[in-house]
Amino acid sequence: MKLTQLFKEKTETLSFEVFPPKDGKNYDSVKSATEEIAKLNPHYMSVTYGAGGGTGEYTVEISRNLQENFGVISLAHLTCVNSKREVVWERLRQLREAGIENILALRGDLLPDAADPSEWDYHYASELVSEIREFGGFCIGGACYPEGHVESEHSKDDIRHLKEKVDAGCQFLTTQMFFDNNILYNFLYRIREAGITVPVVAGIMPVTGANQIKRICQLSGTYLPQRFKAIVDRFGSEPAAMKQAGIAYATEQIIDLLANGVNHIHIYSMNKPEVAEQVQKNLSEIIR
């Protein structure tokens, strides 16, 4: 099923993100973790695509396994930066052969050893969206950034680029993680004013370890509310307590989002079945 159809049929959805292994050595353990999450029967699962496309084949394999053997709709990530057009089209053919109907189209991270930008076939996610649309047959999603993309100086420019991506054929959007729901509500108001009307899925990260926070801030500069900082300060040195507190904080975020009409929730579960399961249990009477 294409996710646009799922969003029409289901008032609320809960989904999980997993990532493939970096190499074959860890494939079995990663595959097992994704299968444990699939057994929770989420509405769909997304499978990430390694930097520079390094895990592309594993993305296809895991997406296929989740869909064929567990009946879970798969959303395969696909990045384009530093990729050649023939490589992208080959990956699209592989996804089609695997029965995958949904793709999250991303530019991808800029790597230090990437080729000269003048040699790239793609520079922006909107170009990949257009390419997938030309290929045909896929439901296309994209990323959005409630706090603005780290490379955009002005939020107006960021929203303008987002509109270009939607106009190119992006049919739904998934947000980067955020920890203050008011940031998302403000963002939704601004993009609706700009004419972006596609479904927006809220991306939530249950923080289960203090080290995650350092990495999150380094990569995206995400704003951390004082209430959240206090939780990390108090429980960050106690792993079990931090996990419980982080899941509780994420659950409260989700309940508030649902109460305010944000009906589609995507959990960055980091291949942790126990985290996915606990979040789902906390919402068992809220999202069925």
Has residue 283 got a pLDDT over 80? yes
Has residue 78 got a pLDDT over 70? yes
Whole-number Å distance between alpha carbons of 77 and 103:
6
pTM for this one? 0.94
- Residue given tokens 């064929």 in the structure block: 68
Lowest-confidence range among 50-59, 99-108, 250-259?
Answer: 50-59
Q: What is the mean pLDDT of the chain?
A: 92
CA angle 46, 47, 48 (to 5 degrees): 120
Whole-number Å distance between alpha carbons of 139 and 101:
6
pLDDT category, 6, cuts 50, 70, 90?
A: very high
Bridge partners of 76? 47, 103
The pLDDT of residue 213: 80
Whole-number Å distance between alpha carbons of 169 and 130:
6
The pLDDT of residue 168: 97
Q: What pLDDT, in 10s, does the model give residues 213-236?
A: 877 777 777 899 999 999 999 999
Report, as residue numbers or ranges, the catalytic residues: 17
Question: Is residue 125 within 8 Å of 143, Cβ to Cβ?
Answer: yes
What percent of the chain clears pLDDT 90, i.e. is strictly above it?
78
The pLDDT of residue 118: 66
Tokens standing for residue 186: 């403000």
| DSSP-assigned letters across all residues of 53-80 | GTTHHHHHHHHHHHHHHH--EEEEEEE-
Question: Is residue 176 within 8 Å of 142, Cβ to Cβ?
Answer: no
Q: What pLDDT, in 10s, does the model give residues 267-276?
A: 999 999 999 9
The pLDDT of residue 115: 63
Which of 49-63, 99-113, 223-237: highest mean pLDDT?
223-237
- Residue given tokens 């609320």 in the structure block: 12
pLDDT category, 41, cuts 50, 70, 90?
A: very high
User: Can you say whether the dihedral through the CA atoms of 101, 106, 110, 114 is positive or negative?
Assistant: positive
Whole-number Å distance between alpha carbons of 127 and 79:
11
Lowest-confidence range among 24-28, 122-126, 210-214?
Answer: 210-214
The tally of CA atoms less than 13 A away on the side-chain side of residue 186 is 10
